[in-house]
Structure 1
């Protein structure tokens, strides 16, 4: 199989003052330096979704919302995902949870990794995301990138607002491992799906 996995880098915060753009652009740069995956940014700001109010998941009934259907088509066009995860009160953002809920079939049997941030490196939010991913029949990588503690406050607008490149030596090893795992799982799941056709 020669097709490179197509990966969406999903920015999971929509606040006007979000920090997410820094880690998103940094992670995009790391992914684009590789030759084994094609990565595109998918910003939830560009996909305004109603709160999930369908009769059921689209695993059981087609969604009535045109916005939800458009989102499902977007999500479905990718072979894997990198989530930019900000931690809100020990969990993921409401907008990311809603986006996950608006699709089901499209996420299934596809891998994901993440770059997470917050005082504890977004660890608690990422663990919630992994639990949701399992329910959506996704495959989580073992590795992820965490921006926490001093690194987070050094680069956040709430702190030093330094360029993320000033802390990237702390992030590069985990980014390489996370992207290696994502590429491996994307190729494995694509091959498994192709063998069933």
Structure 2
């Protein structure tokens, strides 16, 4: 069975992303076409990128990098839940992505973003990063406005249309994850 990681891309105190990630996970876990697991970046504290060699070489010096690589390598695809900070992705999320290379390759990526403008700029930046990491980002995404989907900007109350968008996002992630399986298998044989 496919295993899809749901990455919570914020580690801020009082973050609302944990509510969004739980919503994604709870809904996704009802599906029978894949297994979904939550990956909270708080559980993977990585210093600012401190590996002496480029990640594309796959020769990790530090234990924290090896643990992170093992975590990410275990998944067939991902959904990233990300806020938008200053028209971009959180530094902690970019850092976590930058640590690795091959572990991200040939995996599908769905995006769930939130912010004042729904996190759309953060999602667009993630698409650029995903392309360089040889990930296949799916077209459908979920964008959640802090003005309309969060009571007092702090309590997540998603409207029904967001659930339909999430269903389509998950459908596409599962489909692309399945389609990319031969590429992941070939890469595993050659490494």
TM-score (norm 1): 0.90
Change (3 A) 1:155 1:107: farther
- Which residue pairs with 2:6 in the alignment? 9
- Deviations, residues 26-58 of structure 1 (Å, cap 9, x unaligned): 111121111101000111000000111222322
User: In the alignment, which residue of structure 2 is the partner of 1:104?
Assistant: 101
The CA deviation string for residues 63-119 of structure 1, in whole angstroms up to 9 with x for no partner, is 211101110110000000010110000111000000001110100010010210001
Q: Which moved more, 1:145-154 or 1:8-17?
A: 145-154
| TM-superposition CA deviations, 1:163-188 (whole Å, max 9, x none) | 52xx3302011111100000000111
Which structure 2 residues correspond to residues 43-54 of structure 1 after superposition, within 5 A?
Answer: 43-54=40-51
Q: Quick check: which one's strand share is greater?
A: 2
Q: 1:180 aligns with which of 144, 159, 171?
A: 171
Residues 1-197 of structure 1 aligned to structure 2 (within 5 Å): 4-60=1-57, 62-148=59-145, 150-154=147-151, 156-157=153-154, 161=155, 163-164=156-157, 167-194=158-185, 197=189
Question: Do 2:58 and 2:101's aligned partners in 1 also have CA atoms closer than 8 Å?
Answer: no
Aligned-residue CA RMSD (Å): 1.6
Say whether the 8 Å CA contact 1:57–1:101 is kept in structure 2.
no
Farther off after superposition, 42-51 or 60-69: 60-69
Gaps of 5+ in 2: none
Instruction: Please list every run of at least 4 consecutive aligned residues from structure 1 whose deviation after the TM superposition is greater than 3 angstroms.
Output: 191-197
Distance 1:42 1:61 in 2: 21
Structure 1 residues not aligned, in runs of 5+: none
TM-score, with length taken from structure 2:
0.92
